[in-house]
Amino acid sequence: MKAIIIAGGLGTRLRPLTYNTPKPIVPVANRPFVVHQIEHLRRHGVEEIILNLHYLSDTIRDILDDGKEWGVKIYYSIEETPLGTAGAVKNAEEYFDDEPMLVFNGDILTDINISQVIEYHKKKGARVTLTLTRVDDPTAYGLILTDAQGKVTRFIEKPSWEQLSTFAGVNTINAGIYVIDPKIFKHVPKGVEYSFERQLFPELLEKGEPIYGFVSDRYWIDIGNPTQYRQAHEAILRNEVAVKIFGTRTDGKIWIGENAQLDKAVKLLGPAIIGQEVKINAETRIKDYTVLGDKVVVGRESSLERAIVWEGTKIGNHVSLTGCIVGFNCLIEDQVQVGEGIVLADNSVLKKGSILRI
């Protein structure tokens, strides 16, 4: 089976992190995010992947090349202008064959059992199978109703709490993973913006086409904003989602990369990921859910807790980072405090004694 990853968005919700780095290669556990998606697809037998790109596409292609490193063949479909979710897939029509294909939203970190979704699709004789997941607050998403056989009966885009009270107990949303019969793309106009969620799927339902929902309780998150990006790392470090992490695992909860230099007086209170060639000086404390990218340097007597620090950043002495994200190649001088929810763009410089809080 072929898969297409829809990854052409601008990543606006993750700015300033995505000004220079397109979302598909934003580091997650110190590896390009899309690589986790590729490896997940490969584990379920997908060997050919079409990557839909738009923003900074050459940067992504330079890293992924032909996909051989991950045991897949990657084809590239480039949008000159944004075409929406269905329009983006239609744009890659030259790579389709007659077999069902998998569509994967480029914002999603998950270990949903794709093999089970494919089997379900075949068993039901569906035109489209939507993977559904349960969330506590469906108002930010699209609620999907199904009957007892799993057949989709209704789409409700971003329901109000009043609407939810009408459907007590229903909290299944579109997880952004579909198995699709390519024949449905005859309903999608070429070269114009067109949405799966708001246009194609409701139109197919109205035409009586069989659309089914496969409900999964496996881990799922949209990493599209800084809060959820940090939550994804916490889930990885709690072993809630299966992804590959580079480094030697110690104490069951800390990964240390090759050639990392940690002073013997460093306190690792983990879970944490320490990248390759990281240097951490004496009496520094690395606390829960901290991720340090490759070649990060941390000075003496600093404290990092729930901090995600990208490659090449230099951190001084007596620095406190809590619940923040620090972009590539930043300089944080001595006695700086960075608080909860702060996001620093690449190459930021914080002078000695600076305090950043929301």
* Whole-number pLDDT of residue 169: 67
In terms of Cα–Cα distance, which of 347, 266, 325 is closest to 299?
A: 266
Which of 48-57, 169-178, 326-335 has the least mean pLDDT?
169-178
In terms of Cα–Cα distance, which of 320, 120, 86, 327 is closest to 229?
A: 327
Which of 155-164, 180-189, 208-217, 271-280 has the least mean pLDDT?
155-164
β pairing state of 73-78 and 128-134: unpaired
In terms of Cα–Cα distance, which of 345, 336, 277 is closest to 304?
A: 336
**Residue 148 neighbours by CB distance under 10 Å:** 5
Residue in the structure block whose two tokens are 């584990």: 43
In angstroms, rounded to a whole number, what is the distance separating the alpha carbons of residues 133 and 144?
10
* Whole-number pLDDT of residue 358: 87
Task: Kindly tell me the burial class for residue 145, based on how many C-beta atoms sit within 10 Å of its own C-beta (0-12, 13-18, 19 or more).
Answer: middle
In terms of Cα–Cα distance, which of 10, 19, 26, 22 is closest to 228?
A: 26
* Whole-number pLDDT of residue 275: 97
Q: Structural domain boundaries of the chain?
A: 2-237, 248-356
Confidence class for position 168, pLDDT limits 50, 70, 90 = low
Confidence class for position 165, pLDDT limits 50, 70, 90 = low
Q: What is the mean pLDDT of the chain?
A: 93
Average pLDDT over every residue of 65-80: 94
Answer positive or negative: Cα dihedral of 187, 222, 77, 191: positive
Confidence class for position 154, pLDDT limits 50, 70, 90 = confident
- pLDDT tens, position by position, 15-27: 999 999 999 999 9
Tell me, letter by letter, the H, E, C secondary structure of 21-35: CCHHHCEECCEEHHH
Q: Is 139 helix (H, G, I), strand (E, B) or coil?
A: helix
| pTM attached to this predicted model | 0.92
Confidence class for position 170, pLDDT limits 50, 70, 90 = confident
Confidence class for position 141, pLDDT limits 50, 70, 90 = confident
In angstroms, rounded to a whole number, what is the distance separating the alpha carbons of residues 11 and 225?
9
* Whole-number pLDDT of residue 123: 95
| DSSP string for 271-305 | SEEE-TT-EE-TT-EE-TTEEE-TT-EE-TT-EEE
The CATH class for the domain spanning 2-237 reads alpha beta
Residue 133 φ then ψ, to 5°: -135, 155
Could you confirm whether domain 248-356 is CATH 2.102.10.10? no
